[in-house]
A and B are shown apart, each in its own frame.
Chain A
Amino acid sequence: GAVVSQHPSWVICKSGTSVKIECRSLDFQATTMFWYRQFPKQSLMLMATSNEGSKATYEQGVEKDKFLINHASLTLSTLTVTSAHPEDSSFYICSARAASGSGTQYFGPGTRLTVL
C-alpha cells in the first residue's frame, strides 16, 4: 500500500515551453500533497504544499506564477513549470500524505526535467 506515482519519469523540453508533471496517490486519498526539487548532490528542497481544493502554499523564494500547482482531487496533484529555462532543470519529487491514519508522507519516484 501507500504508493505514489509520477508521470512522466523524465522529460526533455526546449527553453520557453511549459511542462506538466502529474502526481497520483494510487491506493489512498491524500488531503495534502507536497512538491520538492532536488539539484545534483543536494538534498530535497520543499517547493510548495497543496491541500485538495485550495490554493497551494509556496516556500520562500519559489515563484508561484512559474510553478503552477493544482490539487483538484484527493488522488491527483499537478505541477506545471511554465516558460521553463535551463536553470529549472532538476529532479522534481512529489509526496502525498494520507487523509487518515498516521499522516506519514509517501514519495513518488521523481521526474527528471531537462530544459535545453
Chain B
Amino acid sequence: DAKTTQPTSMDCAEGRAANLPCNHSTISGNEYVYWYRQIHSQGPQYIIHGLKNNETNEMASLIITEDRKSSTLILPHATLRDTAVYYCIVRGETSGSRLTFGEGTQLTVNP
C-alpha cells in the first residue's frame, strides 16, 4: 500500500472549517484513500473514504486531486469534540489488504 504524508499538527478555531491535507504521491489506480480519527484513549473512528471522486457524508468531505496524489479532509464546522488525531491511509481493495497507520495529524480545535 502507498505511503502517506501528513502534517504533525494543526490548530483550528471552533466553528471554522478544518482542512487536513494528505499527500499520497505513490498511490496506485486501485487504491482507496481512507480517513479515520482517534480521540484520546479510544479506538479509531471511520470518517470517510474515496477512490477518485470527491465524497461527502454527515461527518466530513473528502476532496481528492485529479491526479490522486493528494487529498484534503474537510470538517465544515469544527467543534471541540473534533479534537483528535486524524489518519489518512491508502489501501487496496483486495481481500488481503489492511490498514497501516502512520503518525497522523493532531488536530486541536480551540474555543
| Chain A residues close to B by CB (< 8 Å) | 2, 4, 6, 31-32, 34, 36, 43-46, 49, 91, 93, 95, 102-110, 112
Contact = CB atoms under 8 A, between A and B. Distances in A.
B98 A110 contact: no
A44 B101 contact: yes
Given A2-B46, A36-B101, A110-B42, 10 more contacts: A43-B102, A43-B103, A43-B104, A93-B44, A95-B44, A103-B93, A105-B46, A106-B46, A107-B45, A109-B43
Interface of B: 34, 36, 38, 41-46, 49, 87, 93, 95-104
Contacts of B42: 109-110
B43 A46 contact: no
A55 to B, nearest CB: 14
Contact of A107 (B44, B97, B104): B44
B34 to A, nearest CB: 8
A30 to B, nearest CB: 13
Question: Which 5 pairs between the two chains have the least Cβ-Cβ distance?
Answer: A107-B43, A44-B101, A107-B44, A43-B101, A110-B43
Contacts of A91: 41
A32 B95 contact: yes
Contacts of A31: 95
Nearest to B36: A107
Contact of B100 (A46, A103, A109): A46
Nearest to B99: A105
B46 A34 contact: no
A44 B49 contact: no
B49 A102 contact: yes
Contact of A93 (B43, B95, B96, B100): B43
A49 B101 contact: no
Contact of B99 (A6, A95, A109, A110): A95
Contacts of A112: 41
A75 to B, nearest CB: 17
A110 B44 CA distance: 9
